[in-house]
Amino acid sequence: MKTYVAHIKQIAKEWHEAFGTNRLKDYYDQYLHDDFTADFFGREVNRAQYIQQYGKFAEEFKDNKVVVEYQICQQEKVVSVINWTALHLGNTMGMPVAGAAININGVSIDHFKNGKVIRHHPFFDTALLVKRSAVREQVRARIARDLHDNIGSTLGSVSYYSEMAQQLIREDQTKLATLLKKIEDASHDLVEEMSDIVWAVNPLNDNFAQLSFRMKNYAADLLASRNINFQFETKDVPELLHLSIDQRKNIFLIFKEGIYNAVKYAECPAISTSIYKEDHNLHVELRDNGKGYDVNNKSSYNGNGINNMKRRAEEIGAQISISSEVGHGTRICLDVPIKTQEYHL
């Protein structure tokens, strides 16, 4: 009896942990009884329907990983406590795609007959997927606000400058050249704004590796053209550390603002960036060895830029400190909370 118990527990474990992988197809004939039935989101399905539905279901989630954490066996019944992580990239049972990583606990009750699964009852915290949909709507609202506030105002400027340029074509070539330069700059800013938003909403970028890659490339390209030495260092940060859309967007834009201010005002020969994980925070530090400024004299620095950085830090619950001293450069420190979220049944 002990041998049989261990056998069906192993079958349940291998079957569940194969979900979303190529191994699952091999296990259908091997582990599922011909009279197999399952509960699929409250609907009774037979063996063929189950295989079809779960094949489609697995395609809507990428990077599937199921871990069987604990099992209890009673006669012909195995209860498995499982944890499922994946990237939600497709509409599921009427629920819109979340475009983000999920981490869901669940329980599977499997009844066996002659060493094969004949009845399958999965219980997942599917309320989390609904919650993800609600979060998705909030994200869409923020994206719309960004498009309206940033890109909308820039397009308005381009349109205004273009109308003025048409009037000056025959009147004043000097003013015309100035306006055309403003149109060029505004258009360039518009392209950058759109690029940042598209990058931020792409769920494939929801990890530290993609964030650090974009930060490093942006600064390296900009600073190389101005002969400013640049160092970029990361330490003890997992490449696959999950970051939300808001975290990635605001960390990058704070960094971008800091680099821009250093290039425009600091007159520095070198800039360095250090990023590391400390307790439950992601620490980002940006330093330049430029001329610095008097923090008590608001007319000596870009107040709008600093206010923007503080506002963005507040949006993600981060702490930001900016220190500077005349003749000794400027230091920006950002601490972003990255506590792991746990979901329970």
Mean pLDDT of the region 58-72: 83
The mean per-residue pLDDT over the stretch 310-330 comes to 93
Question: Per residue in 231-261, pLDDT tens?
Answer: 999 998 988 888 888 899 899 999 999 998 9
Amino acid identity of residue 237, one-letter, is V
Question: pLDDT-based confidence at 165, cuts 50/70/90?
Answer: low
**CATH superfamily of this structure's domain 206-345:** Histidine kinase-like ATPase, C-terminal domain (3.30.565.10)
Report the range out of 26-40, 56-70, 114-128, 156-170 with the highest average pLDDT.
26-40
Q: What confidence tier does 187 reach under pLDDT thresholds 50, 70, 90?
A: low
**Using CB atoms within 10 A of its CB, is residue 166 exposed (0-12), middle (13-18) or buried (19+)?**
exposed
Least confident of 65-74, 201-210, 314-323, 335-344: 335-344
Strand, coil or helix: 187: helix
Give ∠ CA 127-132-133 in degrees, rounded to 5: 100
Please check the confidence at residue 144 and state whether its pLDDT lies above 50: yes
Vertex 191 angle, CA 259 and 233, to 5°: 30
CATH number attached to the domain at 2-125: 3.10.450.50
With a cut of 80, say whether residue 82 has pLDDT above it. Answer: yes
* Per-range mean pLDDT, top range of 38-47, 322-331, 334-343: 322-331
Question: Who wins on pLDDT, 345 or 44?
Answer: 44
User: Cα separations (Å) of 63 from 21, 56, 84, 86?
Assistant: 9, 15, 10, 5
The residue written with tokens 């000794």 in the block is 328
Distances (CA, A) of 189 to 25, 64, 158, 310: 50, 39, 11, 21
Provide the angle, in degrees to the nearest 10, between the axes of the packed helices 303-315 and 245-261: 160
Domain coordinates in residue numbering, the chain: 2-125, 135-203, 206-345
The stretch 71-96 carries a mean pLDDT of 76
Give residue-wise pLDDT tens across range 13-29. 998 898 877 778 888 88
**Could you tell me what percent of the chain has a pLDDT over 70?**
72
Average pLDDT, the chain: 79
How confident is the model at residue 184, as a pLDDT? 63
Least confident of 88-102, 105-119, 186-200: 88-102
Roughly how many angstroms between the first and final C-alpha of the chain, as a whole number?
A: 32
Confidence category of residue 341, pLDDT binned at 50, 70, 90: very low
For the cut 60, the answer to whether the pLDDT of residue 333 exceeds it is yes
Q: Residue range 87-115: average pLDDT?
A: 73
